[in-house]
Each structure stands twice: as C-alpha cells, then as structure tokens.
C-alpha cells in the first residue's frame, strides 16, 4: 500500500509540474504577450521594454518559469495590474463560494444518479429505461449556459418562484442565501449527473451477472438485500475514479454557471480577467484549478485503493 501511495503521489506531482510547464509555455508563445495585453496594442516600444524589465520578462524564459513556479508553490500567485490587488487575495475572496457550489453539486448529482442508475439497470430495456437514457443524453448534450439561462428564464422571469436580486459576492452570501444558490446548484447537478447514472447503469448490469449474486439469491437473500447490500456496493467503488475524472468538467461547468448567475466566484474572476487581457490572473487560476483537480483525483485514486485491495497489488 505504501508503495502505491508513493508511486501515485509522485505521478500527481509530475502532472502538476507538466501543467505548469504547459500553461506557462503557452503564455510565451506570443512574444511580449503579457505586456502588450496590459498596455494595449498601440503601446510604444519604450514603455513595453520598461514594463517588461519591471515584471522581469526580459530574463531567460527558464529563469522566469522557475521564479514564477517557485512563487506559486509558496502561495504567491502574482499581482493583478488592473485591480491593483494581489492575485492571492482575489482568489481567496472567490474560491470559497466556487468550491461550495461545486461540492454541493457533486454530492447531489452522485446522490441522484444512484437511484436512477440502479432503477435503469433493474428495469433495463423498458420504456422507463429508454426514456431516462434519452433524458440524460439530452441533458449531457445541451451546453451548460443554455440550461442555466433557460432555468433562469423559467423560474425567475416567467414563474417568479425565485427573486432576481440575488448576488453572491462572498462565501458568507453563499451560505446565508440558499435561495440564491438553488438554481446554480440545480444546473450544475443536472449537467453532471447524466455521466454518473449512465456509468452506474452499466456497472450495476455488469455486477448483476456475477456469480456472487446467484449465490446470494440461492442463500435466500431478498431482492433488496442483494441489490443494495451486494451489487450496489461493488458497483459504487469504480464510481470513485469516475468522480475524480469528472472534476475538471464540473469545475468548467462552474465557470459558466457563475457567469450566468452572476456569482463572484473564481470562474467569473477568470472571465473578467480574460476580458481585460489580464494574463497573470488567468494563468494563476488555471494553474491552481488544475493543481486542485490533480489533488482531487489523487484522493479519489487513493480511496479507491483503500476500498478495493486489488488495485494496489498491480
């Protein structure tokens, strides 16, 4: 087990380093990109050179990378030249509500996908199964922003069930205004549960053909006991890996949701930074999100190994 943990952790560290090289490298595909972004396209060469020197952009690329990544590891994410604030404090003020919404949606979509996936597997190839498959196929295909917009239009504008004047500007708002996060969380849940329920359906179907199911039935275990006591438990374990793999998509969905519902989270921060060509902020957030995602899938894989001893043997 220790060997597995060490190997898997080293792999995660390597991934984070590669992500940092890729994101940092992309930024420097365009010569003077960062400075030109800040000063506008009509800046004169003199001011470009001056700001480049000030920001340390005239050093060799490798040295720039090392100092940037070193700072990043120490929690120094850079400076936002537009808002005149450190990127770290910007992230601190926004990451709470984003993680809250993502976390809540993740838990809800897993909880919803379990009964639906099991139901579809038990009633396989019935009208109900086909309908649910089709519904999740459609939900999976519609862009998140459209689901969000349609729900906003329906529940806020048409039906008036939820008041419009909700703005989530802090983690405190997210906690204290449940009515304002109902729709964002519902959207994110709707767009992400489909993948889980589809997986669970096939996973339960696989497990149902296993011999231990026949044994359990032969020993007189009831339908419910077989299904929830044996089959579901085994079918759920690989879900952990799937959840780890689906984290990037979920975080990506949150970016869109925050834009539509005007939640001052990390996704909206990214979009605003992109609109003002503030490369440093986008770079830092992209890097941080990827690092958190890697950490998430590391945790997923390690808990998988704890639950299923077969994994750590190979």
Residues found near other proteins in the complex (CB under 8 A): 11, 14-15, 18-19, 22-23, 26-27, 29-30, 33, 37, 137-138, 141-146, 149-150, 153, 157, 245, 248-249, 251-252, 255-256, 259, 270-271, 274-275, 277, 279, 282-283, 285-286, 289-290, 293-294, 297
Nearer to other proteins, 10 or 66 (CB): 10
Nearer to other proteins, 216 or 287 (CB): 287
CB of 105 to other proteins, least distance (A): 14
Nearer to other proteins, 79 or 221 (CB): 79
CB of 271 to other proteins, least distance (A): 5
CB of 66 to other proteins, least distance (A): 18
Nearer to other proteins, 46 or 158 (CB): 158
CB of 90 to other proteins, least distance (A): 16
CB of 137 to other proteins, least distance (A): 7
Nearer to other proteins, 111 or 142 (CB): 142
Nearer to other proteins, 216 or 278 (CB): 278
**Sequence-ordered list of residues with C-beta below 8 angstroms from that of 55, at least 6 positions apart, any chain:** 34, 35
CB of 22 to other proteins, least distance (A): 6
CB of 45 to other proteins, least distance (A): 20
> Per-residue DSSP letters for the chain?
-HHHHHHHHHHHHHHHHHHHHHHHHHHTTSTTHHHHHHH-TT--HHHHHHHHHHTTTTS-HHHHHHHHHHHHHTT---EETTTTEEHHHHHHHHHHHHHHHHHHHHHHHHHHHHHHHHHHHHTTTSHHHHHHHHHHHHHHHS-HHHHHHHHIIIIIIIS--S-S---B-SHHHHHH-HHHHHHHHHHHHHHHHHHHHHHHHHHHHHHHTSHHHHHHHHTT--HHIIIIIIIHHHHHHHHHHHHHHHHHHHHHHHHHHHHHHTB-SHHHHHHHHHHTT-HHHHHHHHHHHHHHHHHHHHHHHHHHHHH-HHHHH-
Nearer to other proteins, 31 or 45 (CB): 31
């Amino acid at each position: 087990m220790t060997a597995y943990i060490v190997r898997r952790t080293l792999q995660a560290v390597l991934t984070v380093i590669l992500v940092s090289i890729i994101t940092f490298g992309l930024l420097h595909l365009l010569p003077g990109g960062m400075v030109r972004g800040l000063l506008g396209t009509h800046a004169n060469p003199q001011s470009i050179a001056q700001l480049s020197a000030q920001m340390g952009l005239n050093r060799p690329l490798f040295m720039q990378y090392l100092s940037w990544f070193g700072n990043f590891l120490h929690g120094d994410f850079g400076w936002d030249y537009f808002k005149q604030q450190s990127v770290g404090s910007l992230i601190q003020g926004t990451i709470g509500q984003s993680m809250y919404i993502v976390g809540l949606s993740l838990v809800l979509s897993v909880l919803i996908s379990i009964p639906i996936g099991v139901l579809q597997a038990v009633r396989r190839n019935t009208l109900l199964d086909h309908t649910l498959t089709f519904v999740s196929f459609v939900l999976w295909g519609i862009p998140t922003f459209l689901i969000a917009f349609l729900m906003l239009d329906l529940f806020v504008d048409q039906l008036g069930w939820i008041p419009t004047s909700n703005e989530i500007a802090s983690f405190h708002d997210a906690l204290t205004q449940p009515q304002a996060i109902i729709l964002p969380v519902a959207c994110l849940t709707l767009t992400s549960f489909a993948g889980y329920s589809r997986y669970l359906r096939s996973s339960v179907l696989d497990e149902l053909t296993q011999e231990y199911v026949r044994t359990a039935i032969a020993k007189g275990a009831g339908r419910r006991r077989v299904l929830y006591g044996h089959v579901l438990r085994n079918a759920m374990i690989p879900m952990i890996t799937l959840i780890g793999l689906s984290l990037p998509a979920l975080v990506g969905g949150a970016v869109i949701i925050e834009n539509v519902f005007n939640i001052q989270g990390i996704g909206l921060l990214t979009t605003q930074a992109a609109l003002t060509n503030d490369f440093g902020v986008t770079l830092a957030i992209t890097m941080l999100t990827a690092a958190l995602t890697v950490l998430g899938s590391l945790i997923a894989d390690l808990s998988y190994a704890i639950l299923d001893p077969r994994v750590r043997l190979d």
